[in-house]
Chains A and B, each alone.
Chain A
Amino acid sequence: MIAESTLKEKVTSLYQSNKDKIVSNDPPGMETIRQQSFEDFLKLDFPTPKLEKWKNTDIRKLLQRDYQILFGPENGDLDLDKIFHCEVPDFDTEIISLYNGWYIYRDKPLTTLPNGTIIGSFARALQEYPDLVMKHYNKYAKSDLNGLNALNTAYAQDGVFIYVPDGVEAYKTIQMVNILNKEDNLLVQNRNLVIMGKNAKLTLVHCDDSHNFKSSLTNTITEVFMDEGANMKHYKLQNLNNDTSLINTSFFHQEKDSNLSTFAISLNGGLIRNDIHVRLNGEGSHADVMGLYLMDKEQHVDNHVFIDHAVPNCTSNELFKGIIDDHATAVFNGHILVRKDAQKTNAYQTNRNIILNDKATVNTKPFLEIYADDVKCSHGATVGQIDNDALFYIKSRGISEYNAKLLLMYAFAAEVINQITIDPLKVRIDDLVKKRLRGELAVCDQCVLNCKNQEKTYEFKIDMSKL
């Protein structure tokens, strides 16, 4: 298609003409990675449905749009106070923000806390801590995985950088907010890097949000390195407008006895693609990968999870649940690889879907690839409806069909929500899900950002004692 090649030409020529700007901040060694990735991109091009991994997610339409790329921050029309005055009851977070793909700050771009934790702009970290960054940068991401990843690696200039030193527990939850607000359609390519030392602890909430109704495309890569015994809780909340597309690729690299739990909660979005790669690289490590998606209208969500059991005695647990309505489509692709000699592996994978409408589609592919014999691996996938017996039971207790359905859908989603271990966040997400199910969740109701709209928590108007 002509339009496709146009975007490819555009990013190619923009890369070449802006190369000075892009590399201006690069520490030694980074330019080579960029150049290699750029060549990879030229070879790989944007993914098409012909590729097995992109079979059910067609991004060709997105590529026909005209995007603008920013090569530097634009803070002109930004009301910083609006963003920083957010408070959520009982939930004390350190908020850091990306605005149109660039890190914005009030005091300084890179904060070093007394305990050694560094939080701030990725671009700035490249200047101030080049050795630390380059030790890990692009070591876990597979930039040649597909054209988008290669493009990100070639272009990436800014994003969030977090470093938690050995034995340190980040003093409070870090909340990363990614806001898009621009008159033109933007192509944003963030690059986040999280480095966790031995036995470090971190909770990261990652919110993707859009403040207007432009058709932007975000192509993010997040790399996380977890050293021995590190413990990370990671929550991704996606509530975007229906024209915005988000391609989110995360790479987690886990060393011995580390523990990861990552959630992908997709409430709204035009096209959301979550690529989650976990490499269990040290014995005794464990990963929980959870997801919840509630999609309607023309929305599309695609979760690709790849868990690589590279060494023995690791465990992983995947649970993805979704409710699909209207013309929405949901895709799940889970891949567990148990390498040769990765004995005593336990890996579980579950994907459950409820379809509410005949026009909605679910494509699921839970996939096991196993080369070791002493393993316990299982996967399950279901696609179905709300259980009629359960519905009847509730209705027979005098509860209206509408409420009964809500209750059942909520109960379905609760299996994922209940895994969230931070109570205030759980309550908040719980609330968002309830609102979403009632069709009352607006796009601007972003998780914690939407501070002016702190209404009472939602309850079902049901007398539970009747059940």
Chain B
Amino acid sequence: MSDDKNNILDEVTQGEYKYGFFTDIEMDTAPKGLNEDTIRFISAKKKEPEFMLELRLKAFEKWKTMKEPDWAHLNIPPIDYQDIIYYAAPKKKPQLDSLDDVDPELLATFDKLGISLDEQKRLTGVAVDAVFDSVSVKTTFQDTLSKHGIIFCSFSEAVQNHPDLVKKYMGSVVPTGDNYFAALNTAVFSDGSFCYIPPGVRCPVELSTYFRINSAGTGQFERTLIVADEGAYVSYLEGCTAPQRDENQLHAAVVEIVALKDAEVKYSTVQNWYPGDKNGKGGVYNFVTKRGMCKGNNSKISWTQVETGSAITWKYPSCVLLGDNSIGEFYSVAVTNNHQQADTGSKMTHIGKNTKSTIISKGISAGFSNNSYRGLVKIAQRAENSRNFSQCDSLLLGDKCGAHTFPYIDTGNSSSIVEHEATTSKISDDQLFYCLQRGIDTEKAIGLIVNGYAKEVLRQLPMEFAVEAQKLLAVSLEGSVG
């Protein structure tokens, strides 16, 4: 390897986090620690109906009996669940009617993030629900959406205004006791987004949520529920950032998607939580449960994710293909650098007949990081003529990082076809040489190759996000991606 390239790889490994500012806003917080009182406090604070509190307490009981999962290829330092603030809301006026009512500092925060709510509203036509620490602060485009009968609001509003829908679908995809972090989330979730698309409606704008952890020592436990009724379509975007802090912050979210007959949901994530500094100090623990249920026939759920942040990522967006002819997709680019660890992938459970799934996963590891793909493709006996194709590629930049692949394939009938392919490689000298002899310098060449490598996934992202995702790749692999 040439010195030149080494320098670039050094730069790559030393990229700084660009979103590490902290906003000084008065916060309304719950006392530290987790017990029944905390849960009652959160529930009371949010003026929740009785059924919600019961659900929380049930989940808490369940959680107490569970153990932290240790099967992932991750080294998770012990987490003191009593040392976390489970609820932190910006102190605000009770009702927000227009952007003017939002704390100007908060708005400035979002400006810095490059997602000025104002601008988004005007220019891109994306409806944004921004979740700041634990509370949803602003949802734009309410009027346009309500014209179509689309409900897009914060989760707590949904609990107040549409309790029937929440009661019917919450926990139907990710049950209370599904896993340790899902149970924790159910017990203490603070807010999140709720979205309901009525039958036959094609959502005219892309819906978007921005999550940001701000206060120190807080955990973020948001809950997203998306229901696409028969024949509906929605494209949903999610973005995450957090300020730079020395201690680790916990983020344990749950995302549930329900697609009824002929419905289609496209869920895109750009995750850029604070990854910790060059020595692996600080950073967000991102333990997320995301699952979609293709409940009706001919439904489709598609996950696209660009994972660049978080100190530790434990995340497996999954699809349960229950309806006949339903389709599940998973496209992922996961970049780890410095001391980041990621264990991510997808789970496709084929139950209905003629169901199809595709998994495309691209891992890029640099520095001292470890990047794992973990996936399960399960074909139930009755899932006749099902089809899966999985491809998981890993790219290694540097010789101190690791790339791992853990695919599980369980096939239970004779008419289905499952294919899995994976490769692990570095940027080959041939590719680099080819670019160099065309007059492209090493830095640009690496950028070109990495971009080309991730292209298959990036092009799945909606326009607004694709630009940002490419920028993020550039930040994460500073100096190597143009």
Contacts and interface: CB of A to CB of B under 8 A. Distances in A.
Given A340-B399, A370-B424, A362 B405 contact: no
Nearest to A325: B414
A361 B411 contact: yes
A358 B401 CA distance: 42
B417 interface: yes
Nearest to A345: B424
A374 B426 contact: yes
Given A341-B399, A367-B405, A378-B423, A384 B381 contact: no
Nearest to A368: B405
B420 A381 contact: yes
A366 B397 CA distance: 23
Contacts of A367: 404-407
A307 to B, nearest CB: 14
Interface in A378-429: 378-385
Interface in B418-456: 418-426
A362 B409 contact: yes
B8 to A, nearest CB: 14
Contacts of A371: 401-402
Interface stretch (A23-31, A170-178, A255-263, A349-357): A349-357
Contact of B407 (A353, A366, A376): A366
A357 B381 CA distance: 10
B148 interface: no
A364 B422 CA distance: 14
B407 A381 contact: yes
Interface in B387-422: 394, 396-422
B71 interface: yes
A375 interface: yes
A9 interface: no
A404 B420 CA distance: 27
B409 A379 contact: no
Contacts of B406: 365, 367
A370 B396 CA distance: 9
Contact of B399 (A343, A378, A379): A343
Contacts of A457: none
Interface string B356-395: 0000000000000000000000010100000000000010
A363 B418 contact: no
Nearest to B402: A371
A369 B396 CA distance: 12
A356 B405 contact: no
A377 interface: yes
B417 A374 contact: no
Given A358-B381, A378-B421, A383-B416, A353 B397 contact: no
B424 A377 contact: yes
A361 B410 contact: yes
- Which one of B396, B406, B411 has the greatest number of beta carbons of chain A within 10 Å? B411
Contacts of A363: 408-411
Contact of B415 (A358, A361, A378): A358
Contacts, number: 114
A312 to B, nearest CB: 11
A205 interface: no
Contact of A380 (B399, B414, B422): B422
A374 B395 CA distance: 10
A360 interface: yes
Contact of A384 (B394, B401, B418, B421): B418
A361 B73 CA distance: 27
Contacts of B421: 378-380
B401 A365 contact: no
A444 interface: no
A372 interface: yes
A340 B426 CA distance: 14
A60 interface: no
A365 B410 CA distance: 9
A356 B400 contact: no
Contacts of A358: 381, 412-415
A296 to B, nearest CB: 13
Given A357-B414, A370-B396, A373-B426, A381 B409 contact: yes
A369 B372 CA distance: 8
B10 to A, nearest CB: 14
A139 interface: no
Given A379-B405, A381-B407, A368 B414 contact: no
A359 interface: yes
Nearest to B9: A373
A25 to B, nearest CB: 42
Nearest to B415: A385
A404 to B, nearest CB: 17
Given A366-B420, A379-B422, A382-B420, A373 B396 contact: yes
A340 B412 contact: no
A378 B424 contact: yes
Contact of A370 (B394, B418, B419): B394
Nearest to A381: B420
B71 to A, nearest CB: 7
Nearest to B73: A369
Contacts of B400: 340
- Which one of A355, A365, A368 has the greatest number of beta carbons of chain B within 10 Å? A368
B401 A385 contact: no
Contacts of A343: 399
Contact of B404 (A340, A355, A359, A370): A370
B387 to A, nearest CB: 10
A362 B402 contact: no
A20 interface: no
B208 to A, nearest CB: 36
B424 A368 contact: yes
Contact of A385 (B396, B402, B417): B417
Contacts of B409: 362-365, 381, 383
Contacts of A81: none
A459 interface: no
Contacts of B71: 52
A383 B422 contact: no
Contacts of A377: 423-425
A176 to B, nearest CB: 34
Nearest to B401: A373
A364 B402 CA distance: 23
A355 B407 contact: no
Given A355-B413, A358-B415, A374 B399 contact: yes
A6 B397 CA distance: 53
Nearest to A332: B409
Contacts of A366: 405, 407, 420, 422
A375 B402 CA distance: 11
B414 A385 contact: yes
A370 B414 contact: no
B405 A383 contact: no
A365 B394 CA distance: 17
Given A381-B420, A382-B420, A383-B418, A369 B413 contact: no
A59 B236 CA distance: 47
Contacts of B407: 365-367, 381
B396 A356 contact: no
Contacts of B413: 355, 358
Given A341-B399, A385-B417, 15 more contacts: A343-B399, A355-B411, A358-B412, A358-B415, A362-B409, A363-B409, A366-B405, A368-B403, A369-B402, A373-B396, A377-B423, A378-B423, A380-B419, A380-B422, A382-B417
Interface of B: 71, 73, 379, 381, 394, 396-426
30 contacts: A355-B413, A359-B381, A361-B410, A361-B412, A362-B411, A365-B406, A365-B409, A366-B407, A367-B407, A368-B394, A368-B404, A368-B405, A368-B424, A369-B73, A370-B394, A370-B404, A371-B401, A372-B399, A373-B397, A373-B401, A375-B424, A376-B423, A377-B423, A378-B421, A378-B422, A380-B420, A381-B419, A382-B420, A383-B409, A383-B416
9 nearest A-B residue pairs (beta carbon): A373-B396, A383-B411, A384-B417, A377-B424, A355-B414, A368-B405, A381-B420, A378-B423, A383-B418
